[in-house]
């Protein structure tokens, strides 16, 4: 798997030994990490400066003040667990809890003591998932911006083109000339950055 560039792994554990060990492990595999000694600390950091880069979260289940599960629920409520996949770090007693979290959207869990190779493999998969999620979100944002640039008439022509109607039928349906349809069609293709009706349909499916 190709490494994800400019990605970060957030490590949240109240055990300094675990934090240091994970930071060293990630650094040895050329992965950038940021460590936090509590779930609340990461929560506050995200509130101050929401991340826009590919990332994932290695999260301990049991911590004082705010548990890993409480932080996970907070991320889910804000839809952040998709662009920031969560891998729980758990002791044997917490496995059922971690399994339940996976059912609710966490990416996975690793039981302590965990295999370094298996954990790093899962982290790399999580970063790839995060990158894909961010790319899809960017694509949707760009699509909304392009749609906002269309005039009402261009939108009407676009809908007809997407339905597969030829220019003559579009002209009859909208009570305009075929030449006007051709002009609007060309403008739609330009604004939507497509070259064909098939490409336009594929783009609109991603709304």
Find the domain containing 174 and state its range. Answer: 149-204
Is 152 in contact with 162 (CB distance < 8 Å)? no
Instruction: Say if residue 207 is exposed, middle or buried (CB neighbours under 10 Å; 0-12, 13-18, 19+).
Output: exposed
Q: Which pairs from 156-164 meet CB under 8 Å and 24+ separation? A: 157/181, 157/184, 157/185, 157/188, 158/188, 158/192, 158/200, 161/185, 161/188, 161/197, 161/200, 162/197, 162/200, 162/201, 162/204, 164/197
User: Do 107 and 200 fall into the same domain?
Assistant: no
State whether 132 and 153 are in the same domain: no
Please say whether the beta carbons of 68 and 74 come within 8 A.
no
What crossing angle do the helices spanning 197-204 and 178-192 adopt, rounded to 10°? 50
What's the domain count of the chain? 2
The pLDDT assigned to 97 comes to 87
What is the pLDDT, as a whole number, of residue 61? 92
pLDDT at 108: 93
What is this structure's pTM? 0.79
Task: Dihedral sign for Cα 54, 44, 74, 66, please.
Answer: positive
Q: Are residues 153 and 133 in the same domain?
A: no
Query: Do 32 and 83 sit in the same domain of this protein?
Result: yes
Instruction: Indicate whether 161 belongs to any domain.
Output: yes
List average pLDDT for each run of 10 residues in the chain, which is 207 residues long: 81 94 94 95 92 92 92 94 93 84 91 89 95 90 91 94 93 94 94 92 82
Task: Report the residue count for the chain.
Answer: 207
Task: Among 102, 118, 139, identify where a domain stops.
Answer: 139
Residue 2 lies in a domain: no
Same domain, 119 and 40: yes
Tell me if 72 is assigned to some domain.
yes
**Same-domain pairing of 19 and 80:** yes
Can you tell me the distance from the alpha carbon of 36 to that of 64, in angstroms, rounded to the nearest whole number? 13
- Bridge partners of 56, per DSSP, are 9
Q: End of a domain among 101, 116, 139?
A: 139
Cα gap 43→50, rounded to integer Å: 10
The answer to the question of residue 169 being in a domain is yes
Regarding whether 111 and 71 lie in a shared domain, the answer is yes
Query: Among 139, 159, 174, where does a domain finish?
Result: 139
Closest CA to 67 of 45, 93, 90, 96: 90
pLDDT of the residue at 177: 94
């Amino acid at each position: 798997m190709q490494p994800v560039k400019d990605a970060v792994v957030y490590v949240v554990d109240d055990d300094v030994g675990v934090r240091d060990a994970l930071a060293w492990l990630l650094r040895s595999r050329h992965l950038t990490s940021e460590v936090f000694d509590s779930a609340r600390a990461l929560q506050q950091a995200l509130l101050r400066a929401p991340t826009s880069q590919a990332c994932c979260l290695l999260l301990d289940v049991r911590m004082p003040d705010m548990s890993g599960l409480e932080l996970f629920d907070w991320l889910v409520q804000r839809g952040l667990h998709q662009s920031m996949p969560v891998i729980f770090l758990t002791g044997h007693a917490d496995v059922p809890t971690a399994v339940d979290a996976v059912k609710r959207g966490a990416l996975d869990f690793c039981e302590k003591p965990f295999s370094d190779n298996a954990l790093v493999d899962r982290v790399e998969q999580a970063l790839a998932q995060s990158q894909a999620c961010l790319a899809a979100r960017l694509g949707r944002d760009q699509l909304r911006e392009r749609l906002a640039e269309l005039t009402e008439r261009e939108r009407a022509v676009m809908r007809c083109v997407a339905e597969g109607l030829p220019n003559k039928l579009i002209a009859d349906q909208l009570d305009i000339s075929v030449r006007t349809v051709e002009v609007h069609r060309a403008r739609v293709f330009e604004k939507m950055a497509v070259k064909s009706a098939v490409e336009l349909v594929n783009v609109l499916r991603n709304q």
